[in-house]
Amino acid sequence: MAAKFLNGVRGACGTSRYSTRFEAPFLRAAPRKLLALIFSLLLSSCPKAEKTPASRDALILGFSQIGAESAWRIRNTQSVQESAKQAGIQLLFANAEQKQENQIKAIRSFIAYQVDVIAFVPIVVSGWDNVLQEARKAGIPVLVTDRKIDADESLYAGFIGTDSEKEGREAALFLLDKFAGRRKAGDLIRVAEFSGTVGSSVADGRAKGFRDIIEKEPEFEIFYSKSGDFMRSKGYELMRTLLENRPQIDVLFSHNDSMTLGAMDAMREAGLRPGEDIAIITIDAQQKAIDALKAGEVNCVIECNPNQGPLIMDIAKQLIAGGQTPRFIHVDEAVFREGDDLSVLPPRGY
Ligand code: AHR
């Protein structure tokens, strides 16, 4: 009975790898209520199996992605999917639609599936301890990718992702340079900050790195700081509302390109010239931001590298082979400034 029931789960999730695993004796003996619970958990966060040429012996990676809030995020997902295929790794992919509880459900379903490795992008820093302990109990190594967490380091195998504090420092360093003349003249330079998702390591890191430098310079004032959740629509709304009282805004420091593009729309609607009336520093380096930099509508673009898939697959393979893996890997990231020769920059791909 139990085996029949769980075969239904397997079919719903579109993978056949786990049939014998679900017929474990404890599950055969499990009461119906428990099985129903497992069924509903698996169904609600049902990970999508990628169609790969993987054999039954292929390594299985369960990956929990935040969602698709930005062009950057979509490229990050593609990078994971493409490199899993290239590495011959079978990918179980789950989109959490911006909800931590969906990520926790997905990780639990990966544990139930007994995948070989779990990787996830934590939407926020905290709240992962319990599910990571469950993974450890099941003997499944977990990789934290893109964003960081505040859990005990013994609960996960390593981190691969961006150095958000460095990104924030780069933004501040650009400003010191750009406003060197006005600083000398003793002018006050007023900065508005649009930050990312509240409680995420990238929003915290970018804000911290930026402040570590800018707050030592008395000519700068961060007079406004609000979260636009990394979304274009919210960047537009924040800027539209901010401009209603016509405050003096010298600089927009935006934690990602999506919010920046929305903010630029609102500036244009208010008759302002982005990049001239308001200096703009943005993070991600998607193609549209690079194009705006070339057109003089953005002044500095700090790259946040979404192409993390190849490293994730490499480390996943090393973990399974029992090799020593680095605890923290920061991906390479560049800074593009106004005046740089960008004519040879290859298309960004996102
Ligand atoms: O975690 C990386 C951030 O998340 C990127 O800057 C942003 O665009 C994304 O949504």
- Evaluate: CB of 284 within 6 angstroms of ligand 1: yes
Sheet holding 220-227, edge to edge: 220-227, 189-195, 251-254, 279-284, 300-303, 335-337
Mean pLDDT of 156-169: 98
CA 298 to ligand 1 center in whole angstroms: 18
**Residue 303 alpha carbon to ligand 1 centre in Å:** 11
- To the nearest whole number, what is the mean pLDDT of the chain? 87
Which stretch of 56-70, 233-247, 285-299 has the lowest confidence by average pLDDT?
Answer: 56-70
Ligand 1 centre distance from Cα of residue 59 (Å): 28
Q: Which atom of ligand 1 is nearest to the CA of 283?
A: 6
- How much distance in Å is there from the Cα of 91 to the middle of ligand 1? 22
Q: Does ligand 1 have an atom closer than 6 angstroms to the CB of 147? A: yes
Look at residue 57 and tell me whether its pLDDT is greater than 60: yes
> Could you give all domains of the chain from N- to C-terminal order, each with its CATH number?
2-46 (no CATH), 56-162+306-332 (3.40.50.2300), 164-304 (3.40.50.2300)
Which distant-in-sequence residues (6+ apart) come within 8 Å of 82 by Cβ?
309
Report the atom number in ligand 1 closest to the C-alpha of 146.
1
- Beta bridge mates, 158: 143
Give residue 158 CA to ligand 1 midpoint distance, Å. Answer: 20
Q: Is the pLDDT of residue 238 over 70?
A: yes
Q: What is the pLDDT of residue 134?
A: 98
Is the CB of 256 within 6 Å of ligand 1?
Answer: yes
What does the alpha-carbon distance between residue 36 and residue 145 come to, in Å, rounded to a whole number? 32
For residue 36, what pLDDT band results from cuts at 50, 70 and 90? very low
pLDDT of residue 24: 31
280 Cβ inside 6 Å of ligand 1: no
Q: Is 259 in the pocket of ligand 1 (CB under 6 A)?
A: no
Do residues 91 and 284 make contact, with C-beta atoms less than 8 angstroms apart? no
Q: Does ligand 1 have an atom closer than 6 angstroms to the CB of 116?
A: no
At 271-329, the pLDDT tens digits run 999 999 999 999 999 999 999 999 999 999 999 999 999 999 999 999 999 989 999 99
Please provide the distance, in angstroms rounded to a whole number, between the alpha carbons at the two ends of the chain.
48
Q: Is ligand 1 within 6 A of the CB of residue 72?
A: yes
pLDDT of residue 156: 98
349 C-alpha to center of ligand 1: Å?
15
Q: Could you tell me the pTM of the whole model?
A: 0.85
